[in-house]
Structure 1
């Protein structure tokens, strides 16, 4: 089997990798999601017994009549924002005691007991379609969204309908309750729209009114019999959704039947000054007084304020405010609180320095670690991820014990590697869990393929620590071991990786160069992890030296590095790619810089097209996948963070636009775009093609029918790789 087909059918070798971990309070059991093999898209829910390592499937979608083609539109949109291409059980929640889990399949609601050896999932008679179900802390109720209404159903079957009831319904045509708005899910990392109180007495819920947002239409000409998909898209400089918060009391089904739904308690803050709801939730517990907490951000993103609110009155009080003259970054995992109620936060030291993890007012951990996010807080221990100074390619997990005052990196057990086991990308940023002194951590490295998942007992000690593995069923890539050279290029120290063919010797003909950047904010490609270079290695085997460079704007180095792209997404970003190429040519004498291609997707597609338009003297052919051509057509929260409002300074947008450079094209350019893309809509490529045609510039457009922002169909994904190679080889053959 060819590598492109293998990569496509395994969804980039993610199928079969354990993910979405929850750990029992005593640390003895771990729940997770995983397919039964490397191509099984029907993801199952598993439980791993830490003592002894036994595993069992507690919910198999095939046994429950799952149909991933029959998803409600809200769930499809939620998965698109999550970039979730899997099937079966793609998410679940557990109660506080780890006795039950709930999940949805094909818009139907299920729960399963996690205690016992022979348990079977049961369906609840919820109002379909069910979206984003979440179990209460006590495990006796489930809240969910259906038809834009927020509902609650009891798990106990005292009544035939399990007391299924509406807490709050939409009060307008474009209003929903309990769902994240577009920019929150696409750009802020907030995929939820409701949160249980710690004692289960109430729900905090977001009300989203999309009426102010411009209506767009996404059409697929290959299906003329279908009506265009209508979506509300908040393009830069236009209105966002109006988002509010309310506390909803959750009464018993009997009390609800007698008194009806209680009135919402509105949580009020200055939404005109701080319109973006970045995070929300609760602090406190059953023995304390639950308090609403949330963060709100200004439209220009230079102010981020943490609020605490009384759930009885809705009165909100400012707790902490971060400001920045450029923008305040939304950091994963915060705000959080220790058991003693201390705030765990990530902010810039002194307001202008690098980011640190703070507990209360004190910074924890070494000052020279690039902080990436808080992974988990358990009692008085804080688990966070970061990179050591000078090596952004390593991502380690750090454990701070507030009781002892010690902070140290988690040293993972070896895996038969010749190198240190703690080198590599420790992917705890989104998947780490720490409970009952049990830590689940995922480890990626250049020393072994795939992802290793470790369960560490006595994680806060060194002498008594034990570990076990949760096996990955992912397929092993049918490729030679990646042949990668790492270094830092130029005076700026740009992180670079050069991927070479396994068969290449320096006495052979010089290799053409294929640059494969993302090159933009929030995405890093040069990592000490073998899986980061699989596609690059395949392209290298076709006869290229593949160069990847993480220039200004990418994470891993520091705040100043990230913010250098402010008000210009083109100039510095492109300069760094040129610098990386020239530095590589000086270091490696076998690179043929008279034949340089460049390809990328999304921001990488934008950068690829930018390269041949503005620097045809350096780049000789480009493939631009789903490129952002005109930043006026991209969403508010992302675009305005970097370029401001287009009506304030149109010149900023013009300088970063590709349309202004259409007449300069003199190199082969292929544009690839999904017709159903609702993130970077097809209008970007359509307008670019029209501008090129008007200027009399030849180019190639490859429209993908039925494809959203990322192709998921195996045949399409495979053929895209093959067509790109063919195009680049043909385009570069005449160079040199």
Structure 2
């Protein structure tokens, strides 16, 4: 560890006294502070952050019932009731109807669905499976973090206290919603271990499926009778002997493609014999490398399947479960296989990134992606293609027409950059048995836009002599991207009858869509007005090319949720200067114009901002001709004409946007804390960041680590020339994960600009990171070795400064995402080169520092390091 250096405090005759919400005291930010004072500042900031975050409602569900007085709507959501500190619970408001005079400054009263109920495990002891799922989902909330509800019956199921709980929000004999809170009932089970991913059957809310020990189970909530449906996992202690799972996505699919479920109930019954169907994914990780991570607290070693770039991925196949219920007992369970695996029909398939059912239950669908992520297909599968007899891939003679019956490729996307996977997909009711229509999104124009597609249902064919070769990169097709597999005159290319672009322009559609099938209206979120704000828009499907109407207010970023009839929506909205509010709005059509009218408020602006001073948004030109967006925080002790030490907070990687016109006092309150202690703070989204189009993002293709710092430095110099208070000779670069990687690259590539680097959980060699992320942007190490070498921090060790106290590295020892091996390899290289560094290890932390004590120590240490050495 490098020795500490004492730095004299900077004083001036006119140094102002400022109120610092972090400490709650009137202090001079220029006065040198002790470790204890920094700790108190961090504690106060954390308290403020927790209070602010927990005030924001989220995870909304609308439920409308018919009553003697007409339809009534209840809005469910998660949040922390007033007067409580931290634990989320289930809440509701009854949406007013027929109200004319609205006072949005008086929010509706949040009401508890549940009686007093603690949902956090005793002493916060989540199981390993729960910890890992929280890491994949980036969950920071405690208490109830998710729920599943059947809006017809009002039955809820939610995970809590390492178990599952259920209750019914019932309708009274008078036909009205009940208002008394209920106490949930635990769903008793004989299954050992935690039950994850609970899902109610869409057409029988008494049936509940869940995952236990990597297999699919179902239970009857009324009788308690349960049944294990799959037997993929053996339950061995040694994961090398137990590579299969059912209903659970692989690590890469969860971490890099944001799919957290691996099974899907059939939405509605299609037979009269009472058959239930569940589509699920069986994953085989037998070829995936096993990583061993020491767990210091438990004095043990945890094993994980982790596919590093260029190594074998998990193999997955789709299967179907069929069963019936007789006298409330699950019986006649059948495990069905596809007549032929998708990976044989599509030899280039590497990932099943999305799957599910069409709303009418006539088809299963899947989005399949190639290994290098430049080819994606939407495949439709008839349930009749699933059979008790699995296709034998070793079989030389087979009936191709029979094995392919009911499998259709209905869309294909290709790219010479990469394909970003999206959740946007909506199937329309099928009118003809020979075709199907759907809404699809694609970035083929350079920006993500919506398309109304009608495809002919033609059977998938392929060329019999197509082979795949197994190598260190996994399963790669011999055929090229534009291969046209043919067999018996049947093409595997989609037969597109019609494709209409519904949106266009240099802006992006984001998140999800909602379709009003009755009125032929399509609602979506996007950045049509500005890339810094997300808004809700509507367009008329009957008039493609007609005007797109914005339904949300400019000057804010909106996170919206529509009801199932597309007549109302909630919007949680904020700006960089104003904290989050939440309104319920009604969608109306007046004189052929769509208008959103406020109905009520769930959350209004707090009367006291507690001294919070927001940053300022800016845009700057660049040498490339692109516009960069940024945020700058003025130090609270600012005196005109003086310059201040500066923190450049960086992420810089793809698939992320930091700079938006939304409130930063929640996730980025740390930046405000820096400013309150006398630092200027700068944040920049340069080339490579998201929501600016795939071309803007593709600046990083095959160049990660080699181009980002130049953009960051260019933006830093520009804003310094504009504001006049940035001391360009005292700049620290600070980031986490990809931001930690760039902090290291910044210090090694531009030590003349960055006096300090604080790197959290940094990637140091892309060859050590996972397949799904790394290969999307860099290819494989075997086929693209030069970008891997150029983008490795280990190649820049000799360029790190020889001065002490310029480099601080922070890492959790049990990080299963960016493994500590990244840091240990880097430290080993620093030692060999005799370079100074400071290392802070958190033995019980993963990729995110979740433990409150560790988080407090980390934040305090960063402030202390900045004060002493910047």
Question: Quick check: 2:446–2:693 contact (8 Å CA) kept in 1?
Answer: no
Q: Corresponding residue for 1:48?
A: 93
How far apart, CA to CA, are the structure 1 residues paired with 2:247 and 2:800?
47
Tell me how far apart the structure 2 counterparts of residues 404 and 120 of structure 1 sit (CA, whole Å).
Answer: 50
1:121 and 2:184 aligned:
yes
RMSD over aligned Cα, in angstroms?
Answer: 2.6
Q: Does 1:231 align with 2:304?
A: yes
Aligned to 2:581: 452
Distance 1:675 1:440 in 2: 41
SS of alignment partner, residue 661 of structure 1:
helix
The answer to whether the 8 A contact 1:6-1:477 is kept is no
1:145-200 CA-partner distances (Å, limit 9, x unpaired): 1122201112233xxxx331122121551211111211111010111111111115
1:634 Cα deviation from its structure 2 partner = 0.8
Greater shift, 211-220 or 433-442, is seen at 433-442
Which consecutive unaligned segments of at least 5 residues does structure 1 have?
A: 413-420
Question: Is 1:495 paired with 2:550?
Answer: no
Distance 2:672 2:767 in 1: 35
Indicate whether 1:92 and 2:137 are aligned: no
* 1:383 corresponds to which of 503, 508, 523: 523
Aligned in 2, Cα 1:84/1:75: closer, same or farther, shift over 3 Å? same
| 1:59-208 mapped onto 2 (5 Å cutoff) | 59=114, 62=117, 66-67=121-122, 69-95=124-150, 97=152, 99-116=154-171, 117=178, 118=180, 119-126=182-189, 127-128=191-192, 129-138=194-203, 139-157=205-223, 162-170=224-232, 173-199=242-268, 201-208=276-283
Question: In the alignment, is the contact (CA less than 8 A) between 2:589 and 2:595 conserved in 1?
Answer: no
Q: Within 1, Cα distance between the matches of 2:137 and 2:808?
A: 28
2:697 maps to what in 1? Answer: 562
CA distance in 2, matches of 1:373, 1:257: 38
Which residue of 321, 346, 365 corresponds with 2:412? Answer: 321
Shift of 1:365: 3.6
Q: For the structure 1 residues 587 and 357, does the alpha-carbon distance in structure 2 shift closer, same or farther, using more than 3 Å as the test?
A: same
Change (3 A) 1:260 1:475: farther
Report the more deviating stretch, 538-547 or 672-681: 538-547
Q: Is the 8 A contact 1:16 1:474 kept in 2?
A: no
Matches within 5 A, 1:115-514: 115-116=170-171, 117=178, 118=180, 119-126=182-189, 127-128=191-192, 129-138=194-203, 139-157=205-223, 162-170=224-232, 173-199=242-268, 201-221=276-296, 223=297, 226-253=299-326, 259-265=332-338, 268-270=341-343, 272-285=347-360, 289-314=361-386, 315-331=406-422, 333-339=423-429, 342-348=437-443, 351-360=444-453, 361-365=499-503, 367-379=505-517, 380-388=520-528, 391-402=530-541, 408-412=548-552, 421-428=553-560, 435-449=565-579, 451-458=580-587, 462=594, 465-471=597-603, 478-491=610-623, 492-507=626-641, 509-514=642-647
Shift of 1:256: 6.4
1:643 to 749, 754, 778: 778
C-alpha deviation, 1:700, in angstroms: 0.3
Deviates more, 1:197-206 or 1:614-623: 197-206
Deviations 1:54-93 (CA, angstroms, capped at 9, x unpaired): 6432236726785473433322221110011222211111
Query: Which of 499, 517, 520 does residue 650 from structure 2 map onto?
Result: 517
Cα deviation 1:307-336 (Å, max 9, x = unaligned): 1101121342111000001211112x3222
Secondary structure of 1:212's partner? coil
Give the equivalent residue in structure 2 for 1:16: 55
How far off its partner does 1:47 sit?
A: 2.4
Call closer, same or farther: CA 1:586–1:474 in 2, change over 3 Å: closer
**Aligned residues of 1:669 and 1:700 also touching (Cα < 8 A):** yes
Q: Distance in 2 between matches of 1:63 and 1:530?
A: 30
Q: Higher mean Cα deviation, 552-561 or 717-726?
A: 717-726
Partners of 2:554 and 2:723 lie apart in 1 by: 29
Moved more, 471-480 or 581-590: 471-480
Question: Matches of 2:837 and 2:608 in 1, distance apart?
Answer: 37
Aligned position for 2:850: 712
Matched, 1:659 2:794: yes
2-side partners of 1:605 and 1:475: how far apart?
37
Instruction: Indicate yes or no: 2:673 matched with 1:538.
Output: yes
Contact map agreement 1:267 1:309 (CA 8 A) in 2: no
Counterpart Cα distance in 2 of 1:505 and 1:641: 47
Instruction: Provide structure 2 residue ranges, at least 5 long, that are not aligned to the other structure.
Output: 1-21, 24-40, 66-71, 98-107, 172-177, 235-241, 270-275, 387-405, 431-435, 454-498
> Post-superposition shift, 1:570?
1.4
The 8 Å contact of residues 13 and 38 in structure 1, kept in 2 or not, is answered as no
Does structure 1 retain, via aligned residues, the 8 Å contact 2:507–2:531?
no
Following the alignment from structure 1 to structure 2, what is the Cα–Cα distance between the partners of residues 213 and 644? 18
Change (3 A) 1:115 1:701: same
Alpha-carbon distance in 2 for matches of 1:435, 1:226: 54
Counterpart contact for 1:269–1:316, Cα < 8 Å: no
Q: Is the 8 A contact 1:489 1:496 kept in 2?
A: no
**How many Å separate the matches in 2 of 1:426 and 1:131?**
31
Moved more, 588-597 or 338-347: 338-347
* Distance across 1 between alignment mates of 2:371 and 2:615: 45
1:535 to 1:254, Cα distance in 2 relative to 1, 3 A: same
Distance 2:185 2:209 in 1: 16
1:220-266: CA deviation from partner (whole Å, max 9, x where unpaired): 44x3x521111111111111111111111131155966644454556
Match of 1:624 among 742, 749, 759: 759
- TM-score of the superposed pair, with normalisation by structure 1: 0.90
Task: Evaluate the alpha carbon distance shift between residue 65 and residue 604 of structure 1 in structure 2; reply closer, same or farther with a 3 A threshold.
Answer: closer
Decide whether aligned partners of structure 1 residues 257 and 136 sit closer, same or farther in structure 2, where only a CA change above 3 A counts.
closer
Q: Which has the larger radius of gyration?
A: 2
With the length of structure 2 as denominator, give the TM-score of the two structures: 0.77
Separation in 1, partners of 2:265, 2:316: 18
Secondary structure of the corresponding residue to residue 854 of structure 2:
helix
1:232/1:698 CA distance change after superposition, 3 Å: same
Q: Distance in 2 between matches of 1:411 and 1:64?
A: 37
Mapped to 1, the partners of 2:354 and 2:299 lie a distance apart of 37
Secondary structure, aligned partner of 1:624: strand
Alpha-carbon spacing, 1:253–1:242, altered in 2? closer, same or farther (3 Å)? farther
Is the deviation greater in 92-101 or in 652-661? 92-101
